[in-house]
Amino acid sequence: MATTLGTARGGCVGVSPWHKNLGRARRVLGLSDHMPPDGGFLVASARLDAPCRRSTSAWHRSPQRTPKASRRWSLACAVGASDSFDTTEPTYPEAVGLLYIIYVLNCVLERGWRFAQPLLLALADGGFGAIALLGLVGQLSLFVSGPVVGATIDRVDRAYAVNLAMVVQIVGIVVSVLLVQRMLLLGVPVQSTILYPALILASVVERVSAFASDVALERDWVVALCGANRTGALATANGNLRRADQISEFGTSLLVGYSVTQFSMETVVAGTVAVNVLL
């Protein structure tokens, strides 16, 4: 195979990496077999498919050997190899574990009341119509407020956003529980009382704040703690969060259903309020 040499400004000469007479090319360049005596160093141009191979297509000779030059050599060898870190390991493993705990507690509160509210309203007169209207208004509120919630989370501090969303969600659940209890004690049709519009408003606030907390935890905090470029860690974290959501929904449904059948309505309401306040 023929040798291909071409001089350029700055003393750079291109040498075919597959040429077997590399010693001749080095002599033409004025390079010794070891580090040049005047302190120069060699920087291999990195190829995308094989970084840091010495049999690459260009060599550069520096005029002096300095500590900075040594760092440049190390940096050149790192080109193309910087993406070799473990993408399955999150940036903050301990913080990701705390994120799982917070997410599970949030799912327990949200999914538990989401199942208990229609179950308790069904015990009241006219409760099924109230359940249908609450579901419709809740979905419409998410449809309208979704873009606003996302834009707000982008603008404010992420810690402030998730804390505020969780606090508002808990307040909405507690107010809804107390309103449902009062409706059941009155013994009148649900939609005929003045408490029903207040229940709709509290349910809308709870649904929107729950949506905001889910977006903040699942879309913002998981990326911040795992690392945007760590695809393996992100996939694992998202899978664990989705699994926790499904388990929480299944477990709280069983717990609420058992509590309603075994205990009185006052006990169920008191337990729901206590869980939301304590957690």
Question: Residue 230 carries which side chain, given as an amino acid letter?
Answer: R
**Residue 82 DSSP label:** G
For the chain, percent of residues with pLDDT exceeding 70: 69
- The single residue listed with the structure tokens 């705390």 is 98
What does the pLDDT look like over 12-29, one tens digit per residue? 444 444 444 545 545 545
Query: Does the pLDDT of residue 108 top 60, yes or no?
Result: yes
Q: Which CATH number fits domain 93-278: 2.30.30, 3.10.620, 1.20.1250, 1.25.40?
A: 1.20.1250
Task: Give the pTM.
Answer: 0.65
Residues 6+ apart with CB under 8 A from 72: 41, 43
Tokens of 241: 């969060």
What does the pLDDT look like over 34-91, one tens digit per residue? 444 444 433 333 333 344 444 444 444 444 444 544 444 444 344 444 445 567 888 8
Query: CA 45 to CA 52: how far, in whole Å?
Result: 7
What does the pLDDT look like over 182-233, one tens digit per residue? 888 887 788 888 888 999 999 999 999 999 999 999 888 999 999 888 889 9
**Mean pLDDT score across all residues of the chain:** 75
- Cα angle 101-107-111, degrees, rounded to a multiple of 5: 160
Neighbours of 179 (CB within 10 A): 19
User: Domain limits of the chain?
Assistant: 13-80, 93-278
Which pLDDT does position 84 carry in this prediction? 54
